Amino acid sequence: MTDLVVSPATPPAPAAAVCAGCGSQVAAGLLACPACGRLLRGDELRRLAAEAEAATLAGDRARAADLWHQALTLLPPGAGQRATIASRIAALGPLDGAAPGKAKPHGSHAGATAGAIGAAALLFIVTKGKLLVLGLTKMSTLLSMLAFLGVYWSLFGWKFAAGIVVSIYIHEMGHVAALRRFGMPASAPVFIPGVGAFVRLHMSPPDARTDARIGLAGPVWGLGAALAAYGVYLATGSPIWAAITHTGAFLNLFNLIPIWQLDGGRGFHALTRTHRAVAAAFIAGAWAVSHEGMLFLLLLGAGWQLFQPAAEQEDNGALGTYLFLVAALTGLMMIVPYGG
């Protein structure tokens, strides 16, 4: 401060395996060694990648896309290679047919949804556009953003890199907007490649209630950016927009881990012990339904917060905003697999 459509059938994994990297016994069905992180289907991945590149050079974009989708089934969720493959698929451009196992998101329902999300995004830009542009006039923001963009461009391609940079920028400007609303001076966002971005406060919030609203404003605006990307995905069917949507939701959900100076930690400062227990139970339920691994980290943080000093007065606004963000971001990750 990441799932593409799975092709028809995942090749069956061996009943048991031994990691070639560390020699550990690996349970059936796992795609990576839990001890050292080594991918267990590396040879197959390299073969599929080579065949996909050859198909691309031969002009057979449909076959190349199918091979890249097959490669994705051999990667565990969160593997860094997923973003690279998503950029390869996006570079192939629109295909004549739908991706394997997935209908294109067109039709009246998808169009109506995309239109509604687009209208909401346009309203957001009109009302907040001046502030968003203002942040780009700061040299520290602009130069650090370009450095951040350059690093991720070299790794994942310019489209994905630009989408993530804009998503993070909008998240940070959510903090700036909240700080301005409370009359508190702060720096413009500064980007750090490999880490994310931050806004430096020039004074401490007067109380936990204010701090919670400033902290949670970032994920609220970040959710808006992810929804805007989702609207473009629905309108175009381009997998790169699915990747941007999913990654944006993932990054904002990560920021809701209630520890340290993360936004979730600042939100929890305003919660009573009872409200923290409610939040922990809600996260556990969301994890049980979605099986999203990031929620396990949120649950660990919420459990730890149960034993930390808590607010004495209830803040229903902070609790409601936090639970809404957890539900909305998790839901977005579920309905928009990485890369479409």
Instruction: Identify the weakest region by mean pLDDT among 49-63, 85-99, 171-185, 263-277.
Output: 85-99
> What residues have CB less than 8 Å from 203, skipping those under 6 apart?
184, 185
pLDDT of residue 313: 93
- pLDDT of 105 above 80: no
- pLDDT of 115 above 60: no
What confidence tier does 103 reach under pLDDT thresholds 50, 70, 90?
Answer: very low
Instruction: Identify the weakest region by mean pLDDT among 113-122, 201-210, 314-323.
Output: 113-122
More confident: 141 or 279: 279
pLDDT of residue 72: 80
Q: How much is the average pLDDT of 96-112?
A: 48
Q: How much is the average pLDDT of 210-217?
A: 94
pLDDT of residue 7: 37
User: So where are the chain's domains?
Assistant: 17-91, 108-335
- pLDDT of 102 above 80: no
Pick the closest to residue 241 from 114, 52, 119, 330 (CA basis).
114
Tens digit of each residue's pLDDT (9 = 90 or more) over 116-135: 555 555 555 555 555 666 66
Instruction: Identify the weakest region by mean pLDDT among 158-162, 176-180, 232-236, 335-339.
Output: 335-339
What confidence tier does 112 reach under pLDDT thresholds 50, 70, 90?
Answer: low
Tens digit of each residue's pLDDT (9 = 90 or more) over 65-100: 888 788 888 877 666 677 778 777 877 766 654 444
More confident: 307 or 119: 307
- pLDDT of 6 above 60: no
Place of tokens 């493959």: 85
Instruction: Identify the weakest region by mean pLDDT among 36-40, 214-218, 320-324.
Output: 36-40
Instruction: Identify the weakest region by mean pLDDT among 12-26, 105-119, 140-154, 182-196.
Output: 105-119
Q: Is 277 left (phi over 0), alpha (psi -120 to 50) or beta?
A: alpha
- pLDDT of 309 above 90: yes
Q: Is 184 left (phi over 0), alpha (psi -120 to 50) or beta?
A: beta
- How far is the CA of 299 from the CAs of 80, 192, 213, 235, 328, in angstroms? 24, 27, 21, 35, 16
pLDDT of residue 188: 77
What confidence tier does 13 reach under pLDDT thresholds 50, 70, 90?
Answer: very low
The model carries a pTM of 0.64
User: HSE (CB half, 13 Å, CA atoms) of 174?
Assistant: 24
% of the chain residues with pLDDT over 90: 36
